[in-house]
Amino acid sequence: MEREDRIVIKVADLTYSYRGGIKALKNVSFTIKRGEVVSVVGPNGSGKTTLLKCLLKLLKPQGAVYIDSREIKDISTREIAKIAGYVPQEHHPVFTYRVIDFVALGRAPYHSMFSAPSKEEVSYCLKVLEALGIRELADRAYTTLSGGQAQLVLIARALAQGARILLLDEPTAHLDFSNQVKVLKTIRDIVKEGSVDAAVMTLHDPNQALLFSDKVALLKDGYLVDYGKPEEVLTPDKLSKIYGIELAVLSDGITSAIVPKLQHKN
């Protein structure tokens, strides 16, 4: 049996500088355990997306990232693609691929330049759609989907990769309120059902992090300011400092909300 508290991702002393020497990440370290949903929160330009790209080996930082105790420097990008599924903020489609064909692109790491997914792989992709409750979209053109549907299809593509870790870049950025909740709930369900080992997502709204994650990584100017349980990390104090505005956390005992303190409303 697998130990439930097994460490899935370990980030050790990660530093990344973009060309021109601007440091986007500075000595970031944390660990993610099996079954955890981790939110990366911070203002624009704090290094959220850079962190995600370092985990995917799309960028080559100093320091180390371990997935299942293997340093990713030693894993080929193709192997990483079988372990970690990337869900971009948005996909800009040029061609109107059918949803099922689009999801099947997730099988790319299992194929050489000259091969294509088999029937079995396509039916696996259909099962993924089924599990996400969007089986009926399979024959629709990707371009005809709503924002929420498109986001779920992107998640389906990552699952089709056979990924055990989901890395999502602002999955709620272009969604309306109900779709934000729906997508975040889906991500949480996928992890809690054990379909994947862990999910890491960058978020703009600390409220979403508060409601949907097990751990929060708070970033500011490339530094990891705090890392831990949402209710411990997302305090009015720390958030006010990070965002530079006065904030308060309201709670009714069941759920909490982070709201700005606006002077003119006194």
Partner 1 sequence: MEREGVIKLVILLSPVLAVLTSVVLGRYPLSPLGVYEAVASWFAPYLVHSPPEVAKVIVVDYRLPRILTAAVVGAALSVSGASLQSMFRNPLVSPYILGVSAGAGFGAALSIAFLPPTVPTELTAFVFAVLAFSLTILIARTSSGEIPTISLVLSGIIVTALFSAALSLVKFVTPDPHKLASIVFWLMGSFAASDWGKLARVTPLVLASAAVLVAMRWRFNVLSLSDEEARALGINPARERLIALCACALATSASVAVAGIIGWVGLMIPHIVRLALGPDNRVVVPYSAVLGATYMVLADDIARCLTTEEIPIGILTTLLGIPLFIYLLKRATAVWR
Pick from 121, 31, 43: nearest CA to 82:
121
Distance in angstroms (rounded) separating the CA atoms of residues 73 and 200: 20
47 binds partner 1 (CB under 8 A): no
Distance in angstroms (rounded) separating the CA atoms of residues 197 and 8: 7
262 binds partner 1 (CB under 8 A): no
CB of 123 to partner 1, least distance (A): 17
105 binds partner 1 (CB under 8 A): yes
154: tokens are 């992107």
Nearer to partner 1, 166 or 247 (CB): 166
CB of 210 to partner 1, least distance (A): 28
CA 230, 236, 237: angle at the middle one, nearest 5?
Answer: 105
146 binds partner 1 (CB under 8 A): no
Pick from 190, 187, 189: nearest CA to 201:
187
| Binding to partner 1, residues 4-33 (CB under 8 A) | none
Region binding partner 1 by CB under 8 A among candidate stretches 66-74, 85-93, 123-131, 207-215: 85-93
211 binds partner 1 (CB under 8 A): no
C-alpha distances in angstroms, 250 versus 74, 123, 218, 262? 46, 46, 20, 14
CB of 118 to partner 1, least distance (A): 11
Interface pick for partner 1 out of 60, 78, 229, 261 (rule CB under 8 A): 78
Taking a C-beta distance cutoff of 8 angstroms, is the pair 88, 154 a contact? Answer: yes
92 binds partner 1 (CB under 8 A): yes
Q: How many residues bind partner 1 (CB under 8 A)?
A: 32
243 binds partner 1 (CB under 8 A): no
CB of 92 to partner 1, least distance (A): 7
Nearer to partner 1, 111 or 185 (CB): 111
| Count of C-beta atoms within a 10 Å radius of residue 244 | 10
Burial class (CB in 10 A: 0-12, 13-18, 19+), 102: buried
114 binds partner 1 (CB under 8 A): yes
Nearer to partner 1, 90 or 237 (CB): 90
CB of 105 to partner 1, least distance (A): 5
| Count of C-beta atoms within a 10 Å radius of residue 29 | 13
Three-state DSSP state, 213: coil
Q: Which parts of this chain interact with partner 1 (CB under 8 A)?
A: 56, 58, 76-82, 86, 88, 91-98, 101, 105-106, 108-109, 111, 113-117, 143, 161
